[in-house]
Amino acid sequence: MRRVILVIVTLVWGLSIAAQEVGPTSTLLFERVEWDFGRIEESAGKVSHTFTYTNTSDHPISIERVYSSCGCTTGNYSRRPLKTGEKGEFTVTFDPEDNPGRFDKRITLVYDSGNGRTELRIKGVVKARKRSTEVIYPQALGAGVRADATYKAFGNVAQGGSRSMTIALVNTSDKGVKLEPEWEENSGMLELFLPDTLAPGEVALATATYLLPSESTRYGLLRDKVWVVIDGTRSKEQIVCTAIGVDNFDKNATAKPQAVVSPSWHDFGEVKAPSTQRCTVKIHNEGRAPLVVRNVTPREGTTISLVEGTEIAPGQTVLVDITFDVPAGSFDTIFGGGMIVLNDPQRPARELRVGATVKN
């Protein structure tokens, strides 16, 4: 009996491998798509790794566009088309400066007239260099007061729930100062507690808390901007906090919706400026309860046809039209899209992203 089970498992495994082999393959075949730098020293500077690939198609191919997950990661490559069977190299460089700790970065390559796409991944751990006060507290607020950050992204906050984050402050001057908050943009959902005073050399924490009442229906992006008034003078920079209001899924019934968005990222390719680009996105409900659109927040220059309050029944698909206006004077790669908030407990906040490369 054990031999029979082993044979069956082997056959299934073999069929799975065969299915993978006969399925669609990339026209650029990379020897590997991931590289682990291990532990690197921040003080040692940039590190690089070269990925190699082969054109396995029957026609010349070149890399057309490259999208990086952050400015600390760059790619170097030849734009010359590769002939069939020819090898190419793509070098990824990571700058560890001001990036201590673990990192995991991705670069997406688009090629073959937009039909091919490969994601390269680099990761590792950066050992931090010894830091000065100016490095630990890079934000100068004024009068000798510095902060370790002036922007805090809280992520999802449930109705009836709360989340808190802290900002470290230090007084580098030789006299005590008085601190007061002055709101410029107030969602009404954020509580900010500043220390009343800071003595010379004192380090203290400011605490920011997003608190959504249980009866709240504040879905989507919450944003707050606060000046720190130091001895009667506004700070050089504002403290900016953002959060996303979502459902409290702990109180929901067993039956749950499940959204499948396709595509969540659309590349318009090369476009001219000014111009208007359009695409359609499908949202399908694979769950067992109605999928409800709680909030739609388009980015500047983007129009999204989806309406708040829309219900998508289990098994139903809706089409969403996205219009992206490429403004005059644009250059290089630009992005648009927007955020939608759904009552999907797995991923309540979704980004509908579009991008284009301006060629005039």
Q: Phi/psi of residue 301, each to 5°?
A: 85, 0
What is the predicted pLDDT for the residue at 345? Answer: 95
Using CA atoms, how far residue 317 sits from 284, 286, 310, 325, in Å, is 4, 9, 12, 26
Which superfamily does CATH assign the domain made up of 25-127 to? Immunoglobulins (2.60.40.10)
What is the predicted pLDDT for the residue at 26? Answer: 64
What tokens appear for 246 in the block? 């979502």
What tokens appear for 317 in the block? 């698909």
DSSP-assigned letter for residue 11? H
Encode the chain (360 residues) as per-residue pLDDT tens digits.
434 333 333 333 343 333 333 334 468 999 999 999 999 999 899 999 999 999 999 999 999 889 887 888 889 998 899 999 999 999 999 999 888 999 999 999 999 888 899 999 999 999 988 888 998 999 999 999 999 999 999 999 999 999 999 999 999 999 999 999 999 999 999 999 999 999 999 999 999 999 999 887 899 999 999 999 999 999 999 999 999 999 999 865 677 999 999 998 999 999 999 999 999 999 999 999 999 999 999 999 999 999 999 999 999 999 999 999 999 999 888 999 999 999 999 999 999 999 999 987
Own/partner pairs for 19-27, CB < 8 Å, 24+ apart?
25/56, 26/56, 26/116, 26/118, 27/55, 27/56, 27/57, 27/61, 27/111, 27/112, 27/115, 27/116
What is the predicted pLDDT for the residue at 181? Answer: 97
Helices (H), the chain: 2-22, 133-136
The CA-to-CA distance between both ends of the chain, in Å, stands at: 69
Query: What would the DSSP string read from start to end of 92-105?
Result: EEE--TT--EEEEE
Q: Are 333 and 322 in contact (CB under 8 A)?
A: no
Residue 342: count of CB within 10 angstroms of its CB:
26
What is the predicted pLDDT for the residue at 69? Answer: 78
What amino acid occupies position 153? A
What is the predicted pLDDT for the residue at 253? Answer: 63
Using CA atoms, how far residue 145 sits from 137, 157, 198, 237, in Å, is 9, 30, 9, 11
What is the predicted pLDDT for the residue at 1? Answer: 41
Assigned CATH for 133-249: 2.60.40.10
Domain ranges of the chain: 25-127, 133-249, 252-358
Using CA atoms, how far residue 108 sits from 112, 114, 166, in Å, is 14, 12, 34
Give me the residue label for tokens 């007239």: 113
Q: Is the dihedral of CA 16, 18, 20, 24 positive or negative?
A: negative
pTM of structure:
0.68
CA 64 to chain centre: 22
Q: Helix (H, G, I), strand (E, B), or coil: what is residue 81?
A: coil
Using CA atoms, how far residue 297 sits from 117, 161, 205, 352, in Å, is 28, 22, 32, 10
Using CA atoms, how far residue 105 sits from 26, 32, 144, 240, in Å, is 21, 15, 35, 25
What is the predicted pLDDT for the residue at 252? Answer: 59
What amino acid occupies position 276? T
Q: Which fold has domain 252-358?
A: Immunoglobulin-like (2.60.40)
- Half-sphere exposure (Cβ direction) of 256: Cα atoms closer than 13 Å: 16
Q: How far apart are CA 198 and CA 353, in angstroms?
A: 43
Same fold, 133-249 and 252-358: yes
Q: Are 252 and 290 in contact (CB under 8 A)?
A: no
What amino acid occupies position 230? I
Q: How far apart are CA 318 and CA 311, in angstroms?
A: 10
Query: What would the DSSP string read from start to end of 191-239?
Result: EEE--SEE-TT-EEEEEEEEE--TT----EEEEEEEEEEETTEEEEEEE
